[in-house]
Amino acid sequence: MLTILYFASVRERVGRAAEELVLPAGVADVAGLLRHLGQRGDAWEGLARIANLRCAVNQQMVGLDSPLADGDEVAFFPPVTGG
């Protein structure tokens, strides 16, 4: 089971803050998870195309090639700016 968290404009785009999802067969990394989520259609299709989409696995910033395992927490959020 994966815990997936969505923050800020990503949360607004997909209409939820979190969900639990059984790790899909054949999904080995964050990029694969994004492709899987994109199959839901509508707002989900564009999730992987968000410019500079940030992701974390188990509260560590990672790239899209980061491997996933059962029990991981995955978070998606837009880039942030300060000033």
Task: Give CA–CA dist 52/35, Å, rounded.
Answer: 16
Output the pTM of the full model. 0.92
Answer whether residue 83 shows pLDDT above 60: no
Q: Say what percent of the chain tops pLDDT 70.
A: 96
Question: Average pLDDT, stretch 5-19?
Answer: 95
pLDDT of residue 62: 97
Query: Does residue 27 register a pLDDT over 60?
Result: yes
Average pLDDT value for residue range 20-33: 95
Domain ranges of the chain: 2-77
> How does pLDDT run across 34-68, given as a tens digit for each residue?
999 999 998 898 888 888 899 999 999 999 999 99
Q: What is the mean pLDDT of the chain?
A: 92
6 CB neighbour count, 10 Å cutoff: 20
For the domain made up of 2-77, give the CATH fold.
Ubiquitin-like (UB roll) (3.10.20)
The gap from C-alpha 54 to its chain's centroid, in whole angstroms, comes to 8
